[in-house]
Amino acid sequence: MAEDPVTGNGHGPLGAYPVRHSRLPPLGAPEFTGRQGEAMRWPGKVQATVETAADGSHWVSIMGDAVTAFRAELS
């Protein structure tokens, strides 16, 4: 496997971008489900939720299930 088939590091910013740049209203907590990895035959979903604090800062949380595909030790 050359890369991680599903990554929260991509979905977190993807969720925050439309709120930060006024593409979505910062009301409530916008959320979306991202899908990734189908082409690699390791499909997965990540749920991202964006919350806006009273001071205008944004908090992004991501959720999803995970499994260990392999383990390795680096030395």
pLDDT in tens, 5-40: 788 888 888 888 888 887 876 667 888 899 988 888
Instruction: Return d(Cα 7, Cα 19) in angstroms, integer.
Output: 20
Instruction: Return d(Cα 31, Cα 15) in angstroms, integer.
Output: 7
Looking at residues 37-59, what average pLDDT do you find? 87
Has residue 75 got a pLDDT over 60? yes
Tell me, what's the pLDDT at 11? 87
The model's pTM is 0.69
Specify the amino acid at residue 29: A
